[in-house]
Structure 1
């Protein structure tokens, strides 16, 4: 299965789906049209998909928001959004966020394959994924502040969870760029590999994720994703309940 629209493509091959930003001439800068297409991909995803890989064509993952579109006067532009009533503007942004948040879906593990620039919306797209494999030349920045804006594509909570409040504040409030080595030290990278090895590293990681029982992996993701919001006792209870479901399922006594 292949679905393609302006600037972004979905390829499904058995249990692996690949979302590719395909505007290499502008370093895969993103537009509201691409975000709507990515939201549609969430509805088109076959039920047997277990891993979603997000990548960019060419030498960059994504240079962020396409300012030639955002700075114009059409739908999704800064000018158009600023004229909307407050709630309508917030609702429009919620639609944009949906292009990113479906990658949190419980039944799949999402992997960002990041080379070159991952700036602003590009950084937030990488953060939307569960795991991030970075090429050695990756450069990450939460650059919205340089435009007088805030990160609004569901990236702030993920960033705080990964690096802590103080470091997240420093990253967002300065808009500075991080190289792959720093991203690795801060816990933003699952792996950092030489550029030539990025695709192979993602394939190896994907194979490892697919090697084990799907339902067990889904339960593990849910346990870990909810761990920070639970007390120790609540987490232990969640572990017990998840293990009980697995034992019953393996014994053929599941629902």
Structure 2
């Protein structure tokens, strides 16, 4: 499916809570669009986002995805839905599970462009992304403890792996909000965009840069990096080596090496 048709297909599938736009250079922008709910994650929005990621993952013309929100990034789970949910119902419908699975299986880079705040499930969605850019005045946090519950879409795991046990304990057990500057210091946020500048525009520039390289090579690099989170060092090194050797068969690898030797710009064909 071509990039333009992909956007049309997604937009005409009654994706009321999600705006999809296809940019030049193989970049797709997904914008959470429930401003009256501060982009809270309803089960319907989760399903829309998961479906969009599934389609974009299959597209041969999309290489990088930018995820943002209309206004603030995301306030977390929709409490109106959560208020009526029982333990049995949560297990039955797999509450928020589809979102985790969609991000975990997505093979292309995802950049979060965070404005305003990313709280609870919104913070978890940002942590599912591969790179996080945040506006200088953005705030992050897990307020679940103040509601008598805990983060349930990977927050306790991903935050701990990034910042360590002690800091994760403080952030999650107090429910406090944390500044973008502190999150950058802790290694959660890659880059802060000053107030008055557009974090989404910065994310799109970064996405265009990544998309200009060989898509198969970028995918291999992402796979190797993610292996470090789930395997031992020995196993991770074996995965990296296998992917490294596999890249030698890419036409893009041959082109890249030839371009370097010939002192010219490489022209990658994503194969």
Please classify the TM superposition score into its range, dividing by the shorter chain length. Answer: 0.7 to 0.9
Q: Which residue of 1 aligns with 2:59?
A: 47
Q: Which residue of 2 aligns with 1:74?
A: none
Q: Which residue of 1 aligns with 2:258?
A: none
Q: Show CA shifts across 1:73-114 (max 9, x none).
A: xxxx432x22x63xx53242x352212442233521111100
In structure 1, distance between residues paired with 2:202 and 2:233:
35
Q: Secondary structure of 2:96's partner? A: helix
Matched, 1:6 2:12: no
TM-score (norm 1): 0.85
Report deviation, 1:140: 0.5
CA distance 1:99–1:234, change in 2 (3 Å): closer
TM-score (norm 2): 0.80
Report deviation, 1:135: 0.3
Report deviation, 1:54: 0.9
In structure 2, distance between residues paired with 1:172 and 1:107:
29
In structure 1, distance between residues paired with 2:102 and 2:165:
24
Report deviation, 1:241: 1.1
Report deviation, 1:116: 0.7
Matched, 1:28 2:39: yes
Among 60, 63, 82, the residue aligned to 2:75: 63
The answer on whether the counterparts of 2:143 and 2:172 sit within 8 Å (CA) in structure 1 is yes
The answer on whether the counterparts of 2:27 and 2:208 sit within 8 Å (CA) in structure 1 is no
In structure 2, distance between residues paired with 1:233 and 1:225:
14
Report how many aligned residue pairs link the two structures: 240
Specify every segment of 5 or more residues in structure 2 that has no aligned partner in the other structure, as ranges. 1-6, 255-271
The answer on whether the counterparts of 2:160 and 2:168 sit within 8 Å (CA) in structure 1 is yes
CA distance 1:138–1:101, change in 2 (3 Å): farther
Q: Which residue of 1 aligns with 2:109?
A: 109
Q: Show CA shifts across 1:178-209 (max 9, x none).
A: 01110111111011111323122112210221
In structure 2, distance between residues paired with 1:119 and 1:239:
34
The answer on whether the counterparts of 1:19 and 1:53 sit within 8 Å (CA) in structure 2 is yes
Matched, 1:230 2:240: no
Report deviation, 1:221: 0.8
The range that moved more, 21-30 or 176-185, is: 21-30
Matched, 1:118 2:118: yes
